[in-house]
Structure 1
Amino acid sequence: MDGMVPQPRLSLRPFSPAQVANAVERSHFRLCLVLVLLSLVCFLPGFSSLQPMDRDEPRYAQASKQMLETHEFVDIRFQDEARHKKPVGIYWLQSATVSIGEALGVPEARTTIALYRIPSLLGALAAVLLTYWASLAFLGRRGAFLAAALMATSVILMVEARLAKTDAVLTACSVAVMGGLARAYLSRGAGVLPRRTLGIFWLGFAAGILVKGPLVLMFAGLTAAILSYRDRSARWLLTLRPGLGALFTLLVVLPWFVAIAIKSGGAFYSEAVGHDMLGKVGTAQRYHWAPPGFYLLAFFATFWPGAVFAAIAAPFAWQHRREDAVAFCLAWIVPSWLVFEAVPTKLPHYVMPLYPAIAVITVIAVLRHFVGPHRPAAKISTVLIPLIPVGLMVGLSAVNWSLDHTLPYRGLPATAAASLIALYAWRLFVRNQVVRSLWLGFASAACLSVGVFGFAQLDLRSLKLSPRLAEVARNMSCENPLVATLGYREPSLVFLTGTNLEMLETGEEASAFLRQGGCRLVFVEKRFENAFRAENERLGLHPALSTRIAGFNINSGRRLDIGAYAVEP
């Protein structure tokens, strides 16, 4: 009608992804919040339900548990054996989280492996957020977010966030140190670094030494040496206030290093340096031997979904090696990587502290449109994007069927979703939508975490030998049974059944253990049962066969059949 004022229309259209991204990018807090949420989706599934993973994780957890049992917080022990391999930092962190759990009323806190994993979870979260902070020295907010997301979704960090070991915390310390070193180098000549940067650098440095000894010093020292040679000057390092920083580091680390030297009579240093460190260089630790090139091959699985993007970006790093940002990242990666490749003892997580630098170079190359289907063999090589989730889905199904004659049904929907998303990510890459392909890679990794760690591992019952054996001990009708084991000697069984678990060598020893009377339980692996039964007959013992536990020991690569024999008063 004439004279009526037109009313504005209400738009019901949702915000576009670009609008949401722009809104999030306006704030460091919002970006970090998204990174934390992404990390938690990748790190938390299976965090408490995954059994203690032999052999390293339960060794750390058991040593921390013994600190609480004995109130001895200087010496590190696994049962009666001195564990003089790594400094004390991670054991203190684990003991603290378990003590907090006990104070909050967590039932059976000292045998709850999730409590011992909390420092690793916090270390992994810190590694992601510190990667964002370190990347801001080279990139804008969007690029720093992508680099941190590559770390959050990487397979190796998803694994280490769930294991009560040193490596996630070490990575966080290393990124803190390298982020500070990057700011000192890229701002050389500017005069003074902010106090926050100095604090992060030196706190990471001191904590890194207390957690895993000299590795942080190696990462920073090799990088600084190469960059100083490049510039023909090391004066830029003075902005890090090395005098005050060294004093702070000594105040943090020296008390324990002096205390353990006195306590062990110097044995800690001979073991940690002479056996553990030099053993890795020599031939003392042949169990983890691998040829040079191992880390390069493992990288394509451990840094998925970012690995193939990083491989395509490798020529970019060489072409732009004279740029300060790229030069710093290469100095961070190359010398330490070569050291690790030269050392005969190799494990995939050793190079994890170098991955943030690889993420930074990868993102720089992506944002400059270097990475794309136009690169040689890129369309074919990016088949790796869907290959990892598809391979895990098929592989876990095959393992589950082989061991337990069933399929991991609970995990299949999420692993199938991860595979389909990764296939679509591959399609987007081929269509030159590289950043969108990256984002779908993050989504695929999140689904993979839920499928593999959250659900599929629950169905792999044959791999859960120690929890099933420990359950037998808990279900005995008498209280506080004395427990021994013959033929199955994994540290996880010590952690779950108790520090006093006896490790036996022969069937005769198993019979003698039961003969001592009281409430006793012995686990006897099938290979030793004939000798065990013969000795029982000779002694006139008639222990009850409580149950049999069959499963597969990953470390020995053998199927095991274990009988649980009990005597009760």
Structure 2
Amino acid sequence: MTSSTFQGSESGGNAHASTSHGGGTLRKWIQFLFILVSALVIFIPGLYHYGIIDPSDGLYAEGAREMLERSDWITPSSNYKPFYEKPILIYWMIMAFYQLFEVHEFYARLPVALCGVASAVALLILVRPFLGARASMFSALALLSTPIFVTVGRVAITDVPLTLFMMLGALCLFSRCFGAHWISLAVAYCSLGLALLLKGPVPVAMVAIILLIYLAWTRPKGTEAWHQWWWRKALLLHPLLGTAVMLSIAAPWYIAEGIATKGAFFQEFFINQNFGRAMGTVNHQNPFWFYIPIYLGGFFPWSVVTLFSIRRYFSLVKQRWLPTRRANLELFSIIWLVFALGIFTILKTKLATYILPIAPPLAILSGSLLDRVIRHRKSNLLSWALLAFILIVMPLLAIAAPAICFKLAIDFSGLYMIVGFGFFIWCFLVIATVAAFRKKLEASITAIACACAFACGTFVPTALQYHYIRSDRPLFELLRRVVKDKAQVALYMRDSPAVNFYLRRPIKEIKTLLDYKMYVEAGKKPHYLLVTSDVMEQMKEPPAMWTLLDKRSKWHLFEVDP
């Protein structure tokens, strides 16, 4: 069985993709530009409208600033001390933008946002040979309208770049199984090398396991023995060459860091962080059901939409040998999504952003589902569902909006802006409903996908801005007083990279009585102390010699001189 036979009866599926999907060169370029511009509009504007959001946003923004200040491109730092919890790539990305432009929150977030843009464009290009032009565009729009993906893509953390590199690695290797050009191998292994440099060996292992499960699960029909077919496909991926490429990208820094830290990095990162997080011996321990609300809410609406195809997904898994490229990509996406969700659910250490790499497979399944709705002409169900949504759900949201804004301390200008955004979304949905009733399903579903992307592109930046105003700007305002009073300042029983970022200096972190005594006795007066509300609750009552100077949100500013 040759590699062309592995593609099965692709001619029917591909002919459909190239004809009914209007797969001409002009349409492809229009779709490419549409997704590119949409992604830029969703990810870039407003990155400068809010300051550092602690802790993770500040951790990498400040760590890169400290490294640049020291002209050290090898060892990450936090509060001017070596920081071994993450490899170097995210710091290099941010440092490069600092070096090219200036140290600013916008440039700390820009490389991550550009990775979000690249993810949408790459998804469009990589799934088009399998799904066709229309479904690939819907997949890209689904990714751009995934709330958690857009949110995380607008702060300076590692998860969106990681998702990009894992997606490139997984989809390019999958494409190679279907006879894609050898360039797909180069892109795959270079991307996985960057993932190794960004987050360590776990993402590389995950991509390898997902691909192996797919190859082991799919069973060829014909005379060729299964193990011969499997072995031939594995060799087609040139794993030894790929390993050499990945190591050539990542190993030089790991070796340099190991030498520079005399092995301390390897002990902390590989043993304490990777193994410790798997065993739950480090922080962020959460119950097994932790990801259920994250999946349903953070990936809405696609986490719910794909439930309507659950029977099809079980059918794909049971068939094992699938005749079309589309079905094979769907099966691969199912394995990717289920494996990633399952493995992160099993691990004791859980954070909401850990499951972000399931965004691409969920977007692929969503795009394929939307395309099937058009091809199967399911207009009645869609039209009545849309009508119910705009007549029942949207008015309820409009009624609830003032109460939500009051709860979140959003002023009237913010309320008016949210209502305005909601009106535009309502207009999109009205257009989609009218088109559905008139049997114009492609126009209807395109309007729905655009409405979801517009919602993410407007509400997510607004939510981040108001989160900053409520939670993190109060700290910035207190630091302005510290600078004005020319005071020493320390953090009590916690850290905050934002303090280092804004003051541009090391900050004393007081965790013991000896730390406190040394701080009060050192340096010029006055000595200020920043304390959060949760620490205040544990203390019951602050010491009598502490004088409360100001309180903003969760932050208390004390003067602690005797």
Instruction: Verify same fold: TM over 0.5.
Output: yes
1:534 has 2:545 as partner: yes
1:343 has 2:347 as partner: yes
Residue number among 330, 336, 340 corresponding to 1:332 in the alignment: 336
Aligned twin of 1:255: 252
Q: Measure, in 2, the Cα distance between the counterparts of 1:41 and 1:162.
A: 12
Deviation at 1:150, TM superposition (A): 0.8
- Report the 3-state secondary structure (helix = DSSP H, G, I; strand = E; otherwise coil) of the residue aligned with 1:563: strand
Aligned twin of 1:551: 553
Q: Structure 1 141/267 Cα, relative in aligned 2: closer, same or farther at 3 Å?
A: same
Aligned twin of 2:307: 311
Q: Measure, in 1, the Cα distance between the counterparts of 2:60 and 2:106.
A: 13
Aligned twin of 1:5: none
Deviation at 1:304, TM superposition (A): 2.6
Indicate conservation of the 8 Å contact 1:484/1:523, yes or no.
Answer: yes
Root-mean-square deviation (Å): 3.8
Q: Structure 1 416/366 Cα, relative in aligned 2: closer, same or farther at 3 Å?
A: closer
Residue type of the alignment partner of 1:34: F
Please identify which structure carries the higher helix content. Answer: 2
Aligned twin of 1:563: 557
Residue type of the alignment partner of 2:343: V
Residue type of the alignment partner of 2:305: F
Deviation at 1:499, TM superposition (A): 3.5
Deviation at 1:134, TM superposition (A): 1.9
1:275 has 2:281 as partner: no
Deviations 1:375-422 (A, max 9, x none): 89x959996999699769957x55653464845335323443366257
Aligned twin of 2:78: 78
Q: Measure, in 2, the Cα distance between the counterparts of 1:186 and 1:274.
A: 38
Aligned twin of 1:166: 158
Which piece of structure 1 moves more, 224-233 or 456-465? 456-465
Q: Measure, in 2, the Cα distance between the counterparts of 1:392 and 1:37.
A: 29
Q: Structure 1 379/409 Cα, relative in aligned 2: closer, same or farther at 3 Å?
A: closer
Indicate conservation of the 8 Å contact 1:510/1:522, yes or no.
Answer: no
- Report the 3-state secondary structure (helix = DSSP H, G, I; strand = E; otherwise coil) of the residue aligned with 1:118: helix
1:295 has 2:299 as partner: no
Deviations 1:164-221 (A, max 9, x none): 111111111111112211212233xxxxx42432221121111111111123323321
Deviations 1:239-263 (A, max 9, x none): 3333333222221111111112222
Q: TM-score, normalised by structure 1?
A: 0.78
Which piece of structure 1 moves more, 325-334 or 33-42? 325-334
Deviation at 1:451, TM superposition (A): 4.0
Aligned twin of 1:179: 171
Aligned twin of 2:15: none
Q: Measure, in 1, the Cα distance between the counterparts of 2:434 and 2:25.
A: 23
- Report the 3-state secondary structure (helix = DSSP H, G, I; strand = E; otherwise coil) of the residue aligned with 2:53: coil
Q: How does 1:76-475 map to 2 (within 5 A)?
A: 76-102=76-102, 109=103, 112-187=104-179, 193-230=180-217, 231=219, 232=226, 233-292=230-289, 294-321=290-317, 322=319, 323=322, 324-369=328-373, 379=385, 394=400, 398=403, 401-402=406-407, 404=409, 406-407=411-412, 408-409=414-415, 411-417=417-423, 420-421=426-427, 424=430, 427=433, 435=442, 436-454=444-462, 457-458=465-466, 461-463=469-471, 464-474=473-483
Q: Measure, in 1, the Cα distance between the counterparts of 2:39 and 2:358.
A: 19
Q: Measure, in 2, the Cα distance between the counterparts of 1:381 and 1:308.
A: 18
Indicate conservation of the 8 Å contact 2:80/2:506, yes or no.
Answer: no
Indicate conservation of the 8 Å contact 1:428/1:434, yes or no.
Answer: no
Q: TM-score, normalised by structure 2?
A: 0.79
Q: Structure 1 530/329 Cα, relative in aligned 2: closer, same or farther at 3 Å?
A: closer
Gaps of 5+ in 1: 1-20, 103-108, 188-192, 537-544, 553-559
Q: Measure, in 1, the Cα distance between the counterparts of 2:350 and 2:364.
A: 25
Gaps of 5+ in 2: 1-20, 220-225, 323-327
Which piece of structure 1 moves more, 160-169 or 69-78? 69-78
Residue type of the alignment partner of 1:471: R
- Report the 3-state secondary structure (helix = DSSP H, G, I; strand = E; otherwise coil) of the residue aligned with 2:509: strand
- Report the 3-state secondary structure (helix = DSSP H, G, I; strand = E; otherwise coil) of the residue aligned with 1:58: helix
Indicate conservation of the 8 Å contact 1:134/1:182, yes or no.
Answer: no
Q: Measure, in 1, the Cα distance between the counterparts of 2:159 and 2:464.
A: 24
Aligned twin of 2:49: 49
Indicate conservation of the 8 Å contact 1:487/1:524, yes or no.
Answer: no
Aligned twin of 2:13: none
Residue type of the alignment partner of 2:406: W
Deviation at 1:98, TM superposition (A): 0.8
Q: Structure 1 141/25 Cα, relative in aligned 2: closer, same or farther at 3 Å?
A: farther
Aligned twin of 2:222: none
